[in-house]
Amino acid sequence: MNFVSEALNLSKFSTERLEERGILRIAFVKHPFFSDVVDAVRIEKKFGIYEEGTVIVKGKDRLRVFRGFPKIKRILYLESGLKKHFGSTKIALEEKMNGYNVRIGKIGDEIYAITRRGLICPYTTEKAREKIPKDFFEEYPEHMLCCEALGKASPYVPDYYGIEGLEFFLFDIRESKTNKALSIHEKEEIAERYDLRMVNILLKTSAEDIENIKRVLEELNDKSREGVVFKDLEMNLPPLKYTTSFSNCGDLSYAFKNFEEYGRDFMLARIVREAFQTFEFQDNIDNRAYRLGKAILDSAVESIKKVKEGKEVTEELNLTFSSEEVLELFKMHLKLLGITFREIERKKRNDKIEAKFERVMRATTDKIKSLLEGNPW
């Protein structure tokens, strides 16, 4: 762990204490596919200035620090929340897309993709090498691309957009060691120059323009989209986020389908968001109540029915790999994450390997089975 002490400017004793407390954890499965990475650890829990998910890499050429995603606070009441936070500063309404967060950087000779929790994911890395131009890192070697990864081939989040494969949508460009973000204008210019797909910027305005802001959110909800992230154009102030009713109900549907895997705070927060949004947008409460109740009950009853029939609560993943090597490495990666899964099909098509996995929601399956057997909650 000497490389961690050096990279973070900590004493050897402090680094050892972090390791003993479980704050420093392994960040990857050692494998020739990660040939530029000698060693790497992630920060499991925020300490000091370092965010959860920060990764410290001992590369074959030098040490690197990739800071974790800064926590984005959420507002529930737009009219007062935006004005209090941004004042008269010009802001951008950036679409909040429903995928998984990825930091993409260059270590040694190759591109690597790091997920929110600070793991170097082999599957996402393979896709990033296919999609992201190395030229960007020649000009910006100390930066990382912060992207939303989504599509039908996402291993972590269901697809809501009908996107084939896995695509990366840029939302920030940051210095990897300091987490300082480039301005919205700089990001737009770089994205155009390097042909990087960006999340949509839906409106540039000010916090006083509340009617147009609400209009944008209503349009997003009608299109079954997740929400927005509010950012000041210079990226000097922390962003804020806000989700649509569609997103809240979608999260609740997923959570109640797998209710033992998700904490009660997760569920309660989304119900409270719906209450505030119903009040501020003056929506019909009966329509909201029906939509909310249906999201909760439909998915929970579906899971109960499956277990009653002797089945398990599962999710299916359909992924495409460029090599058997990365497929097997990804299975090792899932075990590192503690995910219970089965590979149920594998076939070759057009020089690619298509694999179907089934993730077993063990905690929810076991809980439902216990309750159906008459055991108390």
pLDDT digits (tens, 9 = 90+) for 210-256: 999 999 999 999 999 999 999 999 999 999 999 999 999 999 999 99
Could you tell me which CATH class the domain 314-372 is placed in? Answer: alpha beta
Q: Which residue has the tokens 């959860």?
A: 52
How far, in Å, CA of 361 to CA of 367, rounded?
A: 10
Q: What is the dihedral of CA 147, 150, 154, 156, to 10 degrees?
A: 70
CB 345 within 8 A of CB 355: yes
Which of 7, 33, 192, 196 is closest to 112 using CA atoms? 33
**3-class SS of residue 175:** strand
pLDDT digits (tens, 9 = 90+) for 110-164: 999 999 999 999 999 999 999 999 999 999 999 999 999 999 999 998 888 999 9
The band of 283, judged by pLDDT with boundaries at 50, 70 and 90, is: confident
| Domain boundaries, given as residue ranges, for the chain | 2-68+98-198, 314-372
**3-class SS of residue 140:** coil
**3-class SS of residue 330:** helix
Distances, alpha carbon 289 to alpha carbons 102, 297, 321, in Å: 35, 12, 43
Same fold: 2-68+98-198 with 314-372 = no
Which of 329, 349, 316 is closest to 126 using CA atoms? 329
Which of 191, 100, 112 is closest to 150 using CA atoms? 100
Distances, alpha carbon 172 to alpha carbons 197, 198, 235, 298, in Å: 12, 9, 10, 37
Per CATH, the number for 2-68+98-198 is 3.30.470.30
pLDDT digits (tens, 9 = 90+) for 315-370: 999 999 999 999 999 999 999 988 888 999 999 988 899 999 999 999 999 999 99
